[in-house]
Structure 1
Amino acid sequence: MVSKNKKPHFGHESMHTHSQSIEAAVIEQSKATAENILANKGHDVVAVRPTDSIHKVTEVMKEHGIGSVLVKDQNGHMAGILTERDIVRGFADEPDNTFDETAADLMTTDVVTATPETPVLELLHRMSEGRFRHIPVIDGEHIAGMISIGDVVKFRLQELEYEALKLKQMIVG
């Protein structure tokens, strides 16, 4: 029988408890960054021009199976972001003319961005607080990629599966 005041002795003074290992896993998980997601997902970004019609933009989104595109100017710099939600708002405001409008007419120009070093939990916070589902990752002047809320969820599920496997291995020995 083990006394309430004494911890059992397993012969290894440096042995960590399961709760310490879980805590270490949580701390390690909090170090994950936007770059970790992009390393799995890829750095490709689909973009359109400000003068492209909404009809063309929707065709591009459909072709790539995505919910947002970056809008780049003639120099390749980000001018804005255009999402499915922006297009739906356009149809609500001007149902008969939206397909003829341009990306510049409907895009969001005050874009919230991240850097490759932005922690995953910060990405989730920004997306939740801003109520948006896509965030461009900018590395200096270079567009490093685009992360969706789905990418973050997929990444976190993979992390959780890995953590569960490591815990099972630790318990089994």
Structure 2
Amino acid sequence: MLVREMMSPPEVVLTEDTTVREAARLLFEYRCEGAPVASAEGALVGIVTENDLLGSHLAAAPDVFARNVDCQPGRRAHLVGEVMTRAVVTAAEDDDACALSRRMFENRIRAVPVLRGDHVVGLVRRRDILRLHLRPDAEVRRDVRAAIAEVIPGHQDVAVSVVDGAVEVAGADDHTTRRAVSDLALTVPGIRSIEFAAPSGTGRSGGCR
């Protein structure tokens, strides 16, 4: 599965000259955890998150319990360019979606801009990853069958069932067909595993995960 199949369009794209207040309003309005920051030409220059904006606010907020000058608030940042993160983890549309998901989880990354060249064409957030795992079984089965029909002659003899994202395929009995079905089906969003039912009169076959 590729990143382009998992990403969402960015609801908000900011510039370095966007005010912190306006950025906070947009992220709140569109319920975004973060937004890419682009130059006037549309090239990615950074990303700003709720944490960046909140950190800027707290750094400048007065401490009502402060008793000395060292505890007084600092200068408040006014522009996104002052608070954004410039070292951004990015992905390309043709990158492996599973590898990106694992990297985001292991490094606690909330949002990754997807680039075509240096321009933002999408964004992968944790909710995009979660959305794939919540696809209805009927949709997954439909897409698996469509993928099989593209390249497997006589695919009408191949039966597909899906339960909670676990796919079982019956009727693909030779190794070459099973490998082709596995390669195709694993491109379908929402699949957790694939197993092949053994031919009648034999035990259950191994699965591909």
* TM-score interval for Structure 1 and Structure 2 normalised by the shorter chain: 0.5 to 0.7
Q: Distance in 2 between matches of 1:102 and 1:49?
A: 9
Judging by fraction of residues, say which structure has more strand: 2
Q: CA RMSD in A?
A: 2.7
Q: What's 2:6 paired with? A: 37
Between the two structures, name the one with larger relative contact order (CA 8 Å, sep ≥ 6): 1
Amino acid corresponding to residue 39 of structure 2 in structure 1: D
Question: Is it true that 1:51 corresponds to 2:21 in the alignment?
Answer: no
Give the residue type in structure 2 aligned to 1:53. Answer: T
Q: Where does structure 2 lack aligned partners over 5 or more consecutive residues?
A: 63-73, 141-161, 171-196, 198-209
Moved more, 130-139 or 157-166: 157-166
SS at match of 1:61: helix
* Contact residue 61 and residue 69 of structure 1 kept, 8 A: yes
Q: Which residue of 2 aligns with 1:164?
A: 163
Structure 1, residues 80-112: CA drift from partner, whole Å, max 9, x if none?
A: 000011122223322257875210111000000
Larger Rg: 2
Distance 2:14 2:6 in 1: 23
Distance 1:76 1:159, change over 3 A: same
Partner of 2:131: 154
Residues 140-170 of structure 1, C-alpha deviation per residue, up to 9 Å, x if partnerless? 2331201101111111332877342774785
Which residue of structure 2 aligns with residue 63 of structure 1? 29
Match of 1:142 among 99, 102, 119: 119
Matching of residue 123 in structure 1 with residue 92 in structure 2: no
TM-score of the superposed pair, with normalisation by structure 2: 0.57
Q: Which has the higher helix share?
A: 1
Q: What is residue 74 of structure 1 aligned with on the other side?
A: 40
Residues 45 and 146 in structure 1, CA contact (< 8 A), matched pair in contact too:
no
| Whole-Å separation in 1 of the counterparts to 2:131 and 2:120 | 22
Give the direction of change, closer, same or farther, for the CA distance of 1:153–1:136 in structure 2 (3 Å limit): same
Deviation sequence 1:113-162 (CA, Å, 0-9, x none): 01111222211222123322100001223312011011111113328773
Q: Which deviations, in whole Å up to 9, do the C-alpha atoms of 1:53-105 show, x marking residues without a partner?
A: 11010111122221111111122111100001112222332225787521011
Evaluate the alpha carbon distance shift between residue 46 and residue 148 of structure 1 in structure 2; reply closer, same or farther with a 3 A threshold. Answer: same
The alignment of Structure 1 onto Structure 2 pairs a total of residues equal to 137
* Structure 1 residues 45 and 77: CA distance shift in structure 2, 3 A: farther
Q: Secondary structure at the match of 1:132?
A: coil
> Which residue of 2 is the match for residue 13 of structure 1?
none
Unmatched runs of 5 consecutive residues or more in structure 1? 1-31
Residues 55, 100 of structure 1: 8 Å contact kept: no
Q: Which of 106, 124, 137 is the aligned partner of 2:83?
A: 106
> Which deviates further from its counterpart, 102-111 or 123-132?
123-132
What amino acid is aligned across from residue 81 of structure 2 in structure 1? A
